[in-house]
Structure 1
Amino acid sequence: MTPCTTALFGENYWNQSLAVADALRPQASVHRATLPNQVRVWVISQYDDARAALSDPRLSKDNAGLTAIIRDQLAAAGQEADLSNMFAPHMMFNDDPAHARLRALVAAKFTRGRVRALRPWIEQLATAVLDELPVDRPVDLIDTVAFPLPLNVICQLLGVPLDDREYLREWTAALMEDLPERALPASREMERYFDRLIAARRAVPGDDLLSALVQQSEHGDQLTPPELMGTLFLLFVAGHETTTNLIGNTVRHLLAEPSRWRRLAADPGLVPAAIEESLRYDSPVRMATHRFTTEDVAYGGVVIPAGEIVLVWLQSANRDDNRFPRATDLVLGRADAAAHLSFGHGIHYCLGAPLGRMEAEIVLRALTQRFPDARLAASAHELQRRPSAIMNGYVGLPVRLAG
């Protein structure tokens, strides 16, 4: 096997992350790396170890312990030690029983029924978005479809005014980068914005999810103000960033071989399976969010000492030949595609997975039916990935639409 010369999270890593994963994974299951913000991490790359790590109680997501380790490392590296509100005390950065409590409070309002009720509206939105697309010149599918549609959906769900979406787009993009000079100002601006929105929903509630979360209850548990702010950050950012990447990555890989695209156009029933295979083949989430070791932990014959940050490399684990035959090939109709780890595993399995799948299915059905002869309008080396340790998506995706 050719040695891998591209460093994890290095300057040349982002656009070659699939190749880097496929080169490093057979060499070892655990790799040392340094994030762009100078935080040192251990990265788990093979499927069996990744799946085990996602539910290993020795790999903690306790907010206080996690943020203390990261802040210490940032300070030691001469970096700004403050963290963005993505590290606030929400359900993603807590262990049970705190995690179970926070998840239950959100799940009680973010129900499957609430998600299903959005389907007719999302279908109408997809039709309206596609109606605006030009068919006589290349169009950036990220900018025109994959980003605005999920953003509109999460705004509708949470009760965020759509007029504010451009500000929110800039802030969330900055939050997903690992550079304090970008993430911290964006987090502060977004927090001020959400403070005003929360106050408005308390004063005049609507039928949206945010109104349901902020209303005071005379009986029972409720989110504290810091928990509410952290939850709003989590729901908003994760609620559209991941789906944007899922749509963009799926379209990009299907159009890389136009016969795949035409196959879906001819048989829309294949769309859900195509989405699962895309989730496996090129996960919209590159790494699961940060964990830390509460004791010495061994994975793949490597001992990770206590007090270290661990990232689970979902993008790599999903392409492990020991779990998926021909793992580095995109195979429509793969029987075991749904065994991917793109939405996580264990207690932190993504609460928004049904919504993300539904949005991607609606968009992909609409695109393939209306534009069965679509094709990429840029070569593979021209497509640029976003520089984010956690999120995995394209900056832009030029396509030429044709029916």
Structure 2
Amino acid sequence: MAVEFGISELWDPAVRRDPHRFYDRVRDSGGPVLQVDPAGNRLWVVAGHADVLAGLRHPAIGHEVHRRSPGMRQPAPQPLSEVARIEARQLINLDPPDHTRLRGLVSSSFTARAVARLEPWITDLADRLVAQARAQGHLDGVRDLADPVPVNVIAELVGIPEPDRPRFRAWSAAIVSASIEGSTATVEFAAYLDELAAQRRACPADDLISQLVALAERGDPLDRDELVALVQLLLVAGQETTVDLIVNGIRLLLTHPEQWQALRDDPSLAAAVVEETLRYRGPVEIVPPRFAFQDIEMVGGRIPAFDRVGLSLWGANRDPGVFERPHEFDIHRTDVRKHIAFGHGIHFCLGAHLARLESRIMFERIARQLPGLRLAVDSADLDGFRLHQHGLPLLV
């Protein structure tokens, strides 16, 4: 029997409370499922592990549809706003060759070897946070544990001075909100970065901004909007997704007592906690919307040219054809490495090594130093999809 869907079902409040049932049905349908988002855009949702992987690799699925679609090639009637220019130069919105060029400018700073050098600094920061949490007794898992590590680590790497980091954190939250406040934050951040770049030209430091400014000074192809877009993406993505990973890992451990006990008994399982959290509740539900540059034939259906393609990482990571007992959180599972929470292909998450290191250290330190950590509210009162906004009340 055919599986039926409401045309905008994915945005139904009931579905938002548990999207995984929706993705189960998409997989059961045997092909891509058409949805229409609140703005009226067509989106073909793909949720099977093999199909999502194929979509991430497909050469005719990408971002810069305006370069491919005859109806989108006309020049804009007026110059783009500063916010639109910066948004258009974000790595996640680009295809080769620009994507390849810009990613290559920063990729060396995020290799496994480069990131490993940060471990002592991150461990010291995590120890200080955990000690403060233990002294408080009552804390918020977002504000006191999950948020400070990625915020400070990525800011240190990029070169945001410590006194400016609270202001940057506010900008980051506003930008992610995709609201009017986000546009204002983008403009303010761009002006701030202009000033910081000027300072680094006059007095270089050992940070990524100095490296990027030096490239531009030598004549490498990196203009002002690209510099702002690149740094903004690193700072925002380097914070928001890792905060989500850490706080959801804590929530999942504390709502699965046997898993929390296993980690306390053996803190070396922290790396396994990271991977299972990524699989079970990764930071990205659907990859930034891509487009079919031509008619795409998939198993069970066809995606028309120039329609949006919604590749669901959450759907892929709960595929029962790949993962045994996919809806169970189990840090001992042997198939966890098949998850694709960081994406795949040319857009594989640049900060994956850093996110894994930060999260592993936090889970290990919490298990060793806060063994009595517990929820301060009933788990039924937690909204697992909005912990960023609502917080995670904890007791030590």
> Counterpart of 1:77?
none
2:9 aligned with 1:7: yes
Q: CA contact under 8 A between 1:60 and 1:294: conserved in structure 2?
A: yes
Residues paired across the two proteins, number: 390
Q: TM-score, normalised by structure 1?
A: 0.86
1:30 corresponds to: 32
Q: 1:57 aligned to 2:59?
A: yes
**Which whole-Å deviations, capped at 9, do the CAs of 1:32-81 have from their partners, x for residues lacking one?**
33445554422211111111101111111237549999999xxxxxxx99
Matched, 1:369 2:371: no
Partner of 1:163: 163
Contact 1:10 1:36 in 2 (8 A): no
Range with greater deviation from structure 2 (369-378 or 352-361): 369-378
Paired amino acid for 1:54: L
The equivalent of 1:398 in structure 2 is: 393
The match for 2:244 is 245
Cα distance, 1:213 vs structure 2: 1.4
**Residue aligning to 1:384:** 383
**Aligned-partner residue type, residue 275 of structure 2:** E
Task: Report 1:264-343 matches (<5 A).
Answer: 264-343=263-342
Using structure 2 for the length normalisation, give the TM-score: 0.87
In 1, the alpha carbon distance for the partners of 2:378 and 2:86 equals 34
CA spacing shift, 1:381–1:101, aligned 2, 3 Å = same
Distance 1:134 1:34, change over 3 A: farther
Matches of 2:253 and 2:389, distance apart in 1: 15
In structure 2, distance between residues paired with 1:36 and 1:50 = 23
Q: SS state of the match for residue 95, structure 2?
A: coil
Task: Tell me how far apart the structure 1 counterparts of residues 343 and 369 of structure 2 sit (CA, whole Å).
Answer: 33
Q: Give distance in 2, aligned partners of 1:50 and 1:198.
A: 39
CA contact (8 A) 1:268 1:365 kept: yes
Alignment partner, residue 261 of structure 2? 262
8 Å CA contact retained: 2:85, 2:225: no
Q: Deviations over 1:260-298 (max 9, x none)?
A: 112111112211112111111111111111211110113
1:62-118: CA deviation from partner (whole Å, max 9, x where unpaired): 37549999999xxxxxxx999657733243322233322222221234444432221
Q: CA deviation at 1:349?
A: 1.0
Q: Using the aligned pairs only, state the percent identity.
A: 35
User: Given the superposition, is the C-alpha separation of residues 31 and 196 from structure 1 closer, same or farther in structure 2, using an over 3 Å criterion?
Assistant: farther
**Structure 2 SS opposite 1:311:** strand
Counterpart in 1 of 2:92?
92
How far, CA to CA, are the matches of 2:224 and 2:262 in structure 1?
49
Higher helix share: 2
Q: Deviations over 1:235-263 (max 9, x none)?
A: 11111111101101111111111221121
The amino acid of 2:58's aligned partner reads D
Q: Is the deviation greater in 14-23 or in 304-313? A: 14-23
The aligned residue for residue 16 of structure 1 is 18
1:116 matched to 2:113? The reply is no
Q: Give the whole-Å Cα distance in 2 for the aligned partners of 1:58 and 1:44.
A: 15
Q: Distance in 2 between matches of 1:304 and 1:90?
A: 25
1:93–1:68 distance in 2 versus 1, CA, 3 Å: farther
> What letter matches 2:59 in structure 1?
P
Distance verdict in 2 for CA 1:17–1:90, change over 3 Å = same
Deviation at 1:151, TM superposition (A): 0.3
Question: Where does structure 1 lack aligned partners over 5 or more consecutive residues?
Answer: 73-79
1:141 and 2:136 correspond: no
After superposition, the Cα gap between the structure-2 partners of 1:130 and 1:344, relative to the gap in structure 1 and judged at 3 Å, is same
Q: Structure 2 CA distance, aligned partners of 1:187 and 1:11?
A: 29
Matched residue type, 2:395: R
Mapped partners of 1:269, 1:40: distance in 2: 45
Q: Tell me the equivalent position of 2:213.
A: 214
